[in-house]
Structure 1
Amino acid sequence: MKQKRERILNYIKSRYALWILTLILVFMIELLNRGKVQDLTKWIFKEESFIPAFVLTYAIVYGILSLFIALTGRAQIAYWTISTFLVLIAFISGMKWKLIEVPLMPWDVTMTDEAMDLSGYLQEVPIKMVIAILVFVIVGILLFKKLPHVQKKFNWTERGLFLLLSVVLLGVIFTDKPIAIKKRFGIEYSRTIQDLNYKKNGFLLSTILNVDQAFVDKPKGYSEEKIKSLVESNSKNDKVNSKVNPNVIVILSESLWDMTKMKDVKLSKDPLSFYHSLQKKYSSGEMLSPAYGGWTANVEFEVLTGNTVRFLPQGAIPYNQYVNHGVDSLASILGRQGYNTTAISPTHSRFYQANKVYQNFGFSRFISGEFFEDKKKGPYIADDEVANKIIETTEKSSGSDFIFANTMENHGSYINKYKEKTVKVEGQMSAETKDMLENYATGVADADEMLKKLVHHYEKSKEPTIVVFFGDHLPPLGRNYSAYKDAKYIGKDSGPDFLPSASTDYGDKSKGTVKELDFLNKMYRTPLMVWNNYLPEHQDKLDMSSNFIGPYVLNLAQKEGTYYTNYLYNLSKKYPMIPPQEYYSQMKIKSEDLADYQMMQYDIMFGEQYGYGKLKDQIASKKLIFGYGDMTIENVTLHSSGQEKTIHITGKNFSGPSTIYLDGKSIETKYQPDGSLIGIISDEGKVASAKIQVKNGPKGIDLAVSNVYQMKK
């Protein structure tokens, strides 16, 4: 008995160092992924799911360590091998989370340029994280040296036991067999709110939960013959007018929603007064969004391509995962008909990989946030500035324009957002809810003013123009819909577990009830307006999913579509809204009626693109121009006023954020109303023979570069 006890004690002594080192590695991974010590401690001490999530995460790390010990036979080699890999990917995840608000996903391994994208921000790496990594390495080295009983080398029997342990731990957690371990531990998994998912469950466990979301299965019956038959049966469109080529301007208004639906909330004025006035004469209605409170990129994806995220794994973001090849869109379709195609966004060019996605969609130009002057309303670029960019683009171009623009001003958070709130709110609600609603209403009013500015401008324009204006999703007003509940817009127990706001794999599986359908209609419908300045007066009731907007607009403009848009236009007549599958029965939708749609989408996104035929390699644009075209320096003059010395640069296509470089070094630059640039110089002598260039883009990344202008003495 004594000998047995001693053997157990000796075994524990030979292993506890590995247990301690594993514990340190787990917390290091979470610190790097979360980015802040405060967020790590919040997970440990305040998150209810911490204990089960931690236990499973610890088991994952120890299982990986056991596997590498089995392979190498040496503790230190195994530990530092897995530590290097796990620390690196946790660090990348934290950086990605910081940059584009999405953690590292399993499917990101298919995005070969992602690491290069992150490299442009290396100068923004928090020094605290670098210090944390160094401390982790030092502590690990010291523990291996100082801890007694550290077994550094293992014999074949022990390696076999480690292998067995690894297979058991990782096998059960990955496969949920023979027991549903994650369900037993009460792990909840949000298929769509990955931010919440990673905060609750941690990086490694969330990654495992996401693995089964990375792939899309081939539909039964998919073949070249089947796709070609669908192309042939949907190729005719008799409503094409090649003589009239209207400008088509599509505007995604951030978080736009009609607050007047809140019957228990009194507003000092209608924040959508102009929009409501247009409803009396023009086609309008509501768009069923695939998202709530975020995921703008998924709404964009549906509007521009006609594809739907309903056929993709829940939680998927096509911009980040799947759009790595040419995908026919409104931009490429109209571009083939001679249109100038421009994307406009006040966010940076790599947000949701827009720089790559828009090129794959066939856009020829992208005016991103790097080309906006810093004119903000609240913390974000004002909607009015986006309107100015739209007008400027159509005024400068020759021929017809397709413009897709999104806004940012009315993005959350809505707490203490505006210094001056133009809409006041009254009702029985908390002070926090009142503040959120007033800030949000102020942003809605500015969006309405943006629409008014555009309509008034194009009313006077001689160019035929269509303006499509819609909200991408409802605003996230508080955690768990708190402001909506407080304002009595929805019930206190609202929020079904399978919708994109709070879906779980292991919760209640009752779906599609009347009560939940009411929630869908209240929380996933946004305003939709289609205005024009040239067509006979006509009103359509526009209640449709976002994926049907593109086909509708092509039909309205009488422009040539494709077999796919023709199919979607006809499908929208039967099923104008495609909800989550759980609602099919309630909304009288037969899944078999969508089988052809699903198959064509698979062909486009994951298959051989049989439907595109010869167009397959012609959809993505050869080059995506950033800003207004090639910047050109035409003349440089030196000026002196008192002690201040400046250079004045005239040329073409400069913008507010343009920066002057003297011999490769940036100088303070001021953009002038006439489009010229003024640079502040400290040494007049250096300018006389300097090489001068103008660049646009974040530090280290040149989106637009001018010619080099050589000064001469």
Structure 2
Amino acid sequence: MKSRWTRFSTFFEKYALILHIPLAMLLVLVNESLSRHSLIEGLGFITNHPGPFLYNSYIIYVILLLVFLSPRRLFMRLVMMAIVILFGIINCIILNNRVTPFGFTDFAMVGDLLTMQNTKYFTAQQAGICLIAILIFVFLMVMLHMHGKKQKVRSKLWVRILTCAIGFASLFPVTKICQKTGVVQTYFGNLAQGYLDNGYAYGFAMSVAGRGMNQPTGYSAKSVENIVEDTSKGKSKMGKVKPNVIVVLLESCFDVNEYPALSYNKDPIPYFHKLEKNYSTGHLTVPVVGAGTCNTEFEMLTGMSCKFFGPGEYPQKTVLKKRDCESTADVIKKLGYGTHVVHNNGGNFYSRANAFSKMGFDTFTSKELLDITDYTPLNTWPTDDILVGATKDALDSTKGPDYCYTITVGTHGDYPKEKVIENPKIKVKVKGVSEERQNQWEYYCNMLNNMDRFLKEYTAMLSKRGEPTLLICFGDHLPTMGLQNKDVKQKDIYQTKYITWNNFGMKKKDQDLTAYQLVSTYFDRLGIHGGTVVDYNQTMTERGISGKSQKYLKNLQMLQYDLLYGKRYAYHGIDMYPPSDLVMGIRPVKIDRIYSYDNQLHIYGENFTPWSKVYVNGEKVNTTYESGQVLTINSKGVSNGAHIVVNQMGSNNTIFRSSNEFELKLAAEDQQ
């Protein structure tokens, strides 16, 4: 047996430069199978996308050239193979819990992953298995390195270094050729589909190399100043009434009437269609399909386009970590508006707390500040009804008019392939799909119906407040159902819908827009101007220039580069829109009293949530959430005079908000 292995090892090392070709192909097949959770579908990648398969194999082959730099080639080869497969496994696990694949920007969210342990997303058992697997692998690699034989290397070191250098240098021209000939794409509107069509190795590589923006041709102070002067709208010209402006992102909202293959027993979104009939509406072109909410969000809030970034870029997780960003919130704040965000998901997800500060918002009420107890049938996402009261709190917190951005999650994917709702209100039939897909559509349509009821309650709340208000609601992307252009009436899966409502007589005016035009256009109708990009979008839209035309995008790209990466010629060297001192939440967290019973300290107060954690003398202790008014901790070791604080905790141990400091004073009989 040993002699056979020795002969095989000798043969492999002798022809390793050639044998790495099938090895690279095998590694690509493994990773593509992991991406699809199916070996059969992995093999389908080879037959359906032969060009991307060969190109991805070439990427892996070049990476394997590093093996020849080490005298311990077997050890090095196994390490390189393990790293490649490890990335595939991570991607496989992530795709089980969300719809977007693993990319370079996810390294910025490692803290979020660590805080997910022992939850429905990342259980303690899974964490234990991962840790044991890593320890076993490390042990085996250490033993192999210690006891493995060094290979006799015939070629000189400089030759091997030169070979590796040529291999890696060739990646750039080969990639450019493949991109220009259409073998691989340069922009992924649907990130998940982009990885599947172009291969995981290329997708991940583009998430590393395709970040940020390239400097546009002709970028200069004069070119930027000319654009700004040509599109300036001057001062705002609002009337005496300054209406509230409320923008609501409806997660994965799709008007299923535009999917001819689907039929149902009753309209899932009757109130949506009522608003569509009576108020301004239109189709909205968004930058993503199936996932990538924060990119549609970025376009809507800033008026900028994600088309200028590389595949997999999330500007809120990259450039906004380093630089503030002019937004619609900045523009409207100058008119005395309070600016708020309300969302029933994590404050750090998509780096939102940081991003909303960089965009100039005053407050952000995330799930950590909400007493969330109700979830969707899969128990994966909070229901959206809690956003009605949370938005009202935000609007009531200021005396003047408000600009509020609300983000829902109730219709978020992934959707179950098995039947979950026993007696669904909305029953559907879909032509030409599997039973699993049928179940997904039925679940989705019932979640849409919940969203429609939320929308009705939300509008009723705004109406009862009696303040002039403009409401703009839009779908951020189509749901993750594998829809193609041929399946939808518009023949464009990058189009969702937006609808509006108002109580001050704004005339109905239907028009199709892009996400980066949406808020600017309605600001224009209200007489709100100001801001480099807002004015640009308003002027170009008024001139009747298509938001998707090259003429429109060319100068938008120039302004966007200048503000995000350039020298900010538009501002003449002044930071006109610095970050805000963002306040998390509206309602104060308060400790009223502490009661001792049965070795437990029961902390009574106000506005506690499942994300409330008790700190004793600055140290976090195990906390049990009982209700919005009661938290419980173990009283052992906690004596009179201890200083107790309740902190609202986000991922990565971020403290979003703190209560008053309470000094413990128990009666003698209550002390442990």
Letter in 2 for 1:151: Q
Partner SS state of residue 307, structure 1 = coil
Deviations 1:227-271 (A, max 9, x none): 223323333346522743322110010111222234454332222
Alignment of 1:533-572 (within 5 A): 533-534=503-504, 536-572=505-541
Residue by residue over 1:150-169, the C-alpha shift from the partner in whole angstroms, topping out at 9 and shown as x without a partner, is 327x57x4213322432343
What CA distance in whole angstroms lies between the structure 2 residues aligned with 1:693 and 1:705? 7
Tell me if structure 2 keeps the 8 A contact 1:234–1:566: yes
Instruction: Tell me, in whole angstroms, the C-alpha distance in 2 between the residues paired with 1:183 and 1:131.
Output: 45
In the superposition, relative to structure 1, how do residues 357 and 552 fare at CA in structure 2: closer, same or farther (>3 Å)?
same
Match of 2:298 in 1: 301
Report deviation, 1:439. Answer: 2.0
- Paired with 1:529 and 1:81, the residues of 2 have a C-alpha distance of 54
CA shift at 1:361, angstroms?
0.9
How much has 1:649 moved relative to structure 2? Answer: 2.2
Provide closer, same or farther for how the CA distance between residues 277 and 76 of structure 1 changes in structure 2, counting only shifts above 3 A. Answer: closer
1:667 to 604, 609, 623: 623
Q: Which residue of structure 2 aligns with residue 455 of structure 1?
A: 459
Match of 1:519 in 2: 491
Contact 2:616 2:643 in 1 (8 A): yes
Within a 5 Å distance, the mapping from 1:339-358 to structure 2 comes to: 339-358=337-356
Q: Which residue of 1 aligns with 2:270?
A: 273
After TM superposition, the structure 1 = structure 2 runs for residues 552-701 of structure 1, keeping only pairs within 5 Å, are: 552-575=521-544, 577-579=546-548, 589=549, 591-613=550-572, 616=575, 618-621=577-580, 623-628=581-586, 631-633=589-591, 635-638=592-595, 647-651=602-606, 653-655=607-609, 657-662=611-616, 664-672=620-628, 677-681=629-633, 683=635, 686=638, 688-698=640-650, 700-701=653-654
Residue 582 of structure 2 aligns with an amino acid whose one-letter code is L
1:434-449 map, 5 Å: 434-449=438-453
Verify: 1:151 aligned to 2:151, yes or no.
yes
Aligned counterparts of 2:216 and 2:86: Cα–Cα separation in 1: 37
Deviation at 1:349, TM superposition (A): 1.9
The one-letter code of the counterpart of 1:562 is G
Separation in structure 1 between the aligned mates of residue 299 and residue 593 of structure 2, nearest angstrom: 47
| Aligned-CA RMSD value | 4.3
Say how many residue pairs are matched: 640
Counterparts of 2:102 and 2:257 in 1: how far apart (Å)? 39
Structure 1 residues 406, 679: CA separation in 2 closer, same or farther (over 3 Å shift)?
A: closer
Equivalent-residue separation in structure 2 for 1:224 and 1:88 (angstroms): 47
Helix, strand or coil for the counterpart of 1:376? coil
> Given the superposition, is the C-alpha separation of residues 576 and 629 from structure 1 closer, same or farther in structure 2, using an over 3 Å criterion?
farther
* Distance apart, 1:408 and its partner CA: 0.9
Instruction: Report the AA paired with residue 451 of structure 1.
Output: L
2: CA distance between counterparts of 1:567 and 1:54? 41
Structure-2 separation of matches of 1:426 and 1:13: 56
Unaligned 5+ runs, structure 2:
1-6, 667-672
Q: Secondary structure at the match of 2:320?
A: coil
CA deviation after TM superposition for structure 1 residue 569, in Å? 1.0
Shift of 1:206: 3.4
State the partner residue of 2:395: 394
Change (3 A) 1:36 1:10: closer
Name the structure 2 match of 1:421: 424
**CA–CA distance in 2 between the matches of 1:594 and 1:190?**
16
CA deviation map 1:40-81 (0-9, x unaligned): 967866753697477435412322333x44xxx776997799
Measured in 1, the distance between the counterparts of 2:192 and 2:79 equals 28
CA contact (8 A) 1:291 1:299 kept: yes
The answer to whether the 8 Å contact 1:287/1:542 transfers is: no
CA contact 1:657–1:671 (8 Å) conserved in 2: no
Q: Secondary structure at the match of 1:666?
A: coil
Contact 1:658/1:671 (<8 A) preserved: no
| Counterpart-to-counterpart distance in 1, 2:551 and 2:365 | 41
CA contact under 8 A between 1:544 and 1:572: conserved in structure 2? no
* Larger displacement relative to structure 2 (180-189 or 249-258): 180-189
1:340-379 matches, cutoff 5 A: 340-372=338-370, 373-378=372-377, 379=380
8 Å CA contact 2:234–2:529 kept in 1: the answer is yes
- 2:663 is equivalent to residue 704 of structure 1: no
Name 1:319's counterpart in structure 2: 316
Asked if the contact 1:120/1:701 (under 8 Å) is kept, the reply is: no
CA distance in 1, matches of 2:26, 2:583: 44
Of 656-665 and 399-408, the range deviating more from structure 2: 656-665
- Find the counterpart in structure 1 of residue 670 from structure 2: none
Paired amino acid for 2:541: S
Q: What's the CA shift for 1:275?
A: 2.4
Paired AA for residue 141 in structure 2:
G
**Is 1:467 aligned to 2:471, yes or no?**
yes
Percent sequence identity is 22
- Larger mean CA deviation between 125-134 and 17-26 belongs to 17-26
Unmatched segments (≥5 aa) in structure 1: 1-7, 491-517, 580-588
**Whole-Å separation in 2 of the counterparts to 1:331 and 1:64:** 50
Distance 1:277 1:117 in 2: 40
CA contact (8 A) 1:52 1:185 kept: no
Does the CA-based 8 Å contact 2:613-2:648 persist in structure 1?
A: yes
- Aligned partner of 1:336: which letter? K
When residues 74 and 279 of structure 1 are mapped into structure 2, their CA distance, relative to the original with a 3 A threshold, is: closer
Q: Does the CA contact (< 8 Å) of 1:281 and 1:538 recur in 2?
A: no
Q: Which residue in 1 is equivalent to 2:407?
A: 406
Q: Structure 2 length normalisation: TM-score?
A: 0.81
TM-superposed CA distance for 1:417, in Å, is: 5.1
Specify whether residues 270 and 570 from structure 1 end up closer, same or farther in structure 2 by C-alpha distance, changes over 3 A only. Answer: same
State the shift of 1:226 in Å. 2.3
Note the C-alpha offset of 1:359: 1.5
Q: Cα distance 1:351–1:219, how it changes in 2: closer, same or farther (>3 A)?
A: same
How far did residue 363 of structure 1 move? Answer: 1.4
Q: Deviations over 1:74-121 (max 9, x none)?
A: 769977997998799889878987887655545x49x8x656666655
Tell me: CA distance 1:682–1:223, structure 2 relative to 1, closer, same or farther (3 Å): closer
Are 1:228 and 1:610, in contact at CA under 8 Å, matched by a contact in 2?
A: yes
**Structure 1 Cα separation of the partners of residues 181 and 263 of structure 2:** 47
Asked if the contact 2:29/2:43 (under 8 Å) is kept, the reply is no
1:647/1:678 contact within 8 Å kept: yes
Paired with 1:263 and 1:170, the residues of 2 have a C-alpha distance of: 49
Label 1:670 to 1:473 Cα distance change in 2 as closer, same or farther (>3 A). same
Specify the alignment match of 1:172 in structure 2.
170
Please give the alpha-carbon distance, in whole angstroms, between the structure 2 residues aligned to 1:144 and 1:255. 50
